[in-house]
Amino acid sequence: MTKSTNIVEFKHVQKSYDGEELVVKDLNLDVERGEFLTLLGPSGSGKTTVLMMLAGFEVPTHGELLLNGKPINSVPPHKRGIGMVFQNYALFPHMTVGENLRFPLDVRKISRAEADKKVQKALDMVRLGDFGNRRPAQLSGGQQQRVAVARALVFDPELVLMDEPLGALDKNLREEMQFEIKHIHETLGVSVVYVTHDQSEALTMSNRIAVFDQGIIQQLASPSDLYERPDNAFVAYFIGENNRLRGRVKEHSGESCTVELENQGGSIKALNVNTGGQGSPTTLSLRPERVSVNPENGEVPNVFEAEVQELIYLGDHIRTRVKVCGNDEFIIKIPNAHGHAVIKKGESVRIGWAMEDCRALDA
């Protein structure tokens, strides 16, 4: 029997809690075996709902869910064999750490000796080998988090779900845990479906990211594609920082197009990614780090005079807010390199950017 390459398939899945509003609208998503897939989206976009359907705690209103190619719509949660890490960890407070880890092995009637071995291995994996006899309440937040991860993995599931597992940790610990979870994923080769609304977490950890909004996947792509080649205005806005300019498509030819900005802001040459064709409204998306100051003549097609509004010193770069093309929320990042451009507030400065870096997206 050949295993399909997809461990999970959502087929036209819809979900509504109240019968009035669809929280998940027509979800089609394949999770590849061994991949680290992140569901990223703002609060209330339906990420947890998707995860709960996969774990079996919510029933899809419509559509089909396949695990290893088999439909699991009517399989109860405890028979799905999916590991899960909850946001509040859900470690059983009346059991020791060791008993917590032993629980999934006990219910599977695994022999004592073998269970002992597995528990110790899982604890060692999260570097908590000596903590087996502690109660969860006697652990720090980061340690509890690691126990939760170990417990979700101790019974060797093929698939692990994590719902904002790092949400309650402080920044440093979160970064350390991101690394650790990623490392465990790579060593064990399990498939992970991970939920977060923290984009940098998604970017550092994932093989692929599904950006969710309003119950729809806006884009499913690798972190670099998502950042550099957003398909639509929502993704561009949600992932990383970006300057937005609104206008209408004046003409387009092949890859490129010319956009007339609103409020007589001028016209810009941009990459035609996702517009409705000539005359349609569009949002231009431009990353702040792709804007160059004082470009050489003829180096880039888009060059404008900008008025410096505000300078914020951030150490490695200087964040500069300028007014350009009638937009005074325009951000430029000037790297703090040797001999970088020196500009002052109130001065006028020439800025420019390449056609490929300016993406014309939906309005």
Partner 1 sequence: MAQAEATLPASGSASTGAPSTALTTADGTPLKVSIRRAMRRNKLLAFGLTLPLLLFITFSFLMPIFEMTFNSVDNRPVANTLHRSAAALQSWDGQGLPSEAVYAAMAEDLKQAAEERSIGRVATRLNYQESGMRSVMMGSARMIERHEPPWKEALIDINAAWGEGSTWRLIKRESGAITFSYYLNAVDMTYADDGSIVAQPEWRQIYVKLFWRTAWMSILITALCLVLGFPIAYLLANLPSRHANLLMILVLLPFWTSLLVRTSSWIVMLQNEGVLNDLMVWIGVISDDGRIQMVYNRIGTLVAMTQILLPFMILPLYSVMKGISPSYMRAARSLGANPLVAFWRVYVPQTLAGVGAGGILVFILAIGYYITPALVGGQSGQLISNYIAYHMQQSLNWGLAASIGTILLAGVMVLYLIYNRLVGIDKMKLG
Ligand X SMILES: Nc1ncnc2c1ncn2[C@@H]1O[C@H](COP(=O)(O)OP(=O)(O)OP(=O)(O)O)[C@@H](O)[C@H]1O
Q: Pick one of Mg ion, partner 1, ligand X, none as the site partner of residue 82 (Cβ within 5 to 8 A by kind).
A: partner 1
E-only strand ranges, 203-326: 208-213, 216-221, 243-253, 256-261, 267-272, 281-286, 292-293, 302-313, 317-324
Structure letter (DSSP) for residue 88: T
Structure letter (DSSP) for residue 78: G
Q: Pick one of Mg ion, ligand X, partner 1, none as the site partner of residue 44 (Cβ within 5 to 8 A by kind).
A: ligand X
Q: Pick one of ligand X, partner 1, Mg ion, none as the site partner of residue 70 (Cβ within 5 to 8 A by kind).
A: none
With CB under 6 A, what is the number of residues at the site for ligand X? 11
Question: Within 13 A of 189's CA, how many CA atoms are on the CB side?
Answer: 1
45 binds Mg ion (CB under 5 A): no
Phi, psi values for residue 224, rounded to 5°: -70, -40
Q: Pick one of partner 1, ligand X, Mg ion, none as the site partner of residue 295 (Cβ within 5 to 8 A by kind).
A: none
242 binds Mg ion (CB under 5 A): no
Mask of contacts with ligand X, 173-212, x by CB under 6 A? ------------------------x---------------
Matching residue, tokens 């005074």: 328
17 binds ligand X (CB under 6 A): yes
User: For residue 243, which of 222, 268, 210 has the smallest C-alpha distance?
Assistant: 268
User: For residue 325, which of 292, 302, 359 has the smallest C-alpha distance?
Assistant: 302
SS3 114: helix
Question: Least distance in Å: CB of 47 to ligand X?
Answer: 4
Q: Pick one of ligand X, Mg ion, partner 1, none as the site partner of residue 55 (Cβ within 5 to 8 A by kind).
A: partner 1
Q: Which residue is nearest to ligand X (CB)?
A: 48
Q: Pick one of Mg ion, partner 1, ligand X, none as the site partner of residue 136 (Cβ within 5 to 8 A by kind).
A: none
196 binds Mg ion (CB under 5 A): no
38 binds ligand X (CB under 6 A): no
Closer residue to partner 1, CB minimum distance, 150 or 181: 150
157 binds ligand X (CB under 6 A): no
Contacting positions for partner 1 (CB under 8 A): 55-57, 76-84, 86, 88, 90-94, 103-104, 107-108, 151-152, 155
Summarize the chain as % helix, strand, coil (round to 5).
25, 35, 40
Q: Which stretch binds ligand X (CB under 6 A): 46-54, 62-70, 120-128, 135-143?
A: 46-54
Specify the length of the chain in residues: 363
Closer residue to ligand X, CB minimum distance, 23 or 257: 23
The tokens for 239 are 């992932």
Contact 53, 1 (CB under 8 A): no
CB atoms under 10 Å from CB of 114, counted, come to 10
Question: Least distance in Å: CB of 239 to partner 1?
Answer: 29
The tokens for 349 are 């400065």
Question: Least distance in Å: CB of 319 to partner 1?
Answer: 40
Phi, psi values for residue 272, rounded to 5°: -85, 100
Q: Which residues pair with 84 in a beta bridge?
A: 161
Question: Least distance in Å: CB of 78 to partner 1?
Answer: 5
43 binds ligand X (CB under 6 A): yes
CB atoms under 10 Å from CB of 355, counted, come to 18
74 binds ligand X (CB under 6 A): no
Closer residue to partner 1, CB minimum distance, 154 or 334: 154
